[in-house]
């Protein structure tokens, strides 16, 4: 059974079974279809990317975000927010990438507490080499499977979900800081 709540993480109070708005049959089908489809999609995309380029999906996304940033550099905190990763998870990923020569970290000149992550030339070449096969994989397993209207609806829906979760996380952090 799946319960729906909109309150994020640790601030959520346990609910009595009588207070739960259980999913309807249609909601349950939609939830499971999304969950199963997303898991299978990410599994195949990750497998193919790793096989073709040796990069994980997380590493690839770090390189993409850095490639789009001025000077191919972002603060680690900004990068974590863009990728919806915890800082700890991102730190482990970036450490692996740094050891492979794909990125470099350095103290932020504007704020001594901050750390910048910069894509190296080797990281740029790795991204350029990996991108064509990965884009074809995304196209084959998602974009070309859906109609343009379905793809637009999926993007719109997940944009709403992402924004709601981001807003909820910001509220939870603010509440925790007030304590």
Q: What's the average model confidence in pLDDT over 48-73? A: 97
- Per the CB < 8 A criterion, the answer to whether 72 and 118 are in contact is yes
Residue 20 DSSP class: -
Query: Residue 18: what pLDDT?
Result: 76
* Res 177: pLDDT: 60
pLDDT value at 11 more than 60: no
Residues 106-158: tens digit of each pLDDT? 998 887 789 999 999 999 999 999 999 999 999 999 999 999 999 999 999 99
pLDDT beyond 90 at 6: no
What per-residue confidence (pLDDT) applies to 171?
66
**3 state DSSP class of 109:** coil
Q: Which two tokens stand for residue 145?
A: 């499977």
Q: Are 20 and 3 in contact (CB under 8 A)?
A: yes
What is the pLDDT confidence band of residue 5, given thresholds at 50, 70 and 90? very low
Residues 108 and 114: beta-carbon distance below 8 Å? yes
Contact 82, 166 (CB under 8 A): no
Mean predicted confidence (pLDDT) in 97-105: 97
CA separation for the pair 29, 67 (Å, rounded): 38
Of 163 and 103, more confident: 103
What percent of the chain lies above the pLDDT cut of 90? Answer: 70
């Amino acid at each position: 059974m799946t319960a729906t709540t909109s309150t994020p993480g640790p601030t959520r109070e346990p609910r009595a079974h009588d207070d739960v708005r259980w999913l309807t049959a249609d909601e349950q089908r939609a939830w499971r279809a999304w969950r199963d489809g997303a898991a299978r999609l990410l599994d195949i995309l990750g497998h193919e990317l790793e096989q073709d380029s040796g990069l994980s999906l997380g590493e690839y996304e770090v390189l993409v975000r850095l490639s789009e940033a001025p000077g191919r550099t972002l603060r680690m905190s900004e990068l974590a927010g863009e990728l919806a990763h915890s800082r700890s998870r991102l730190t482990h990923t970036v450490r692996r990438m740094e050891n492979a020569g794909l990125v470099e970290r350095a103290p932020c000149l504007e704020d001594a507490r901050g750390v910048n992550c910069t894509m190296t030339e080797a990281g740029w070449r790795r991204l350029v080499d990996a991108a064509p096969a990965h884009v074809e994989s995304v196209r084959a397993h998602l974009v070309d499977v859906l109609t343009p209207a379905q793809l637009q609806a999926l993007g719109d829906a997940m944009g709403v979900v992402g924004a709601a979760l981001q807003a909820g996380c910001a509220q939870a952090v603010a509440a925790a800081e007030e304590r």
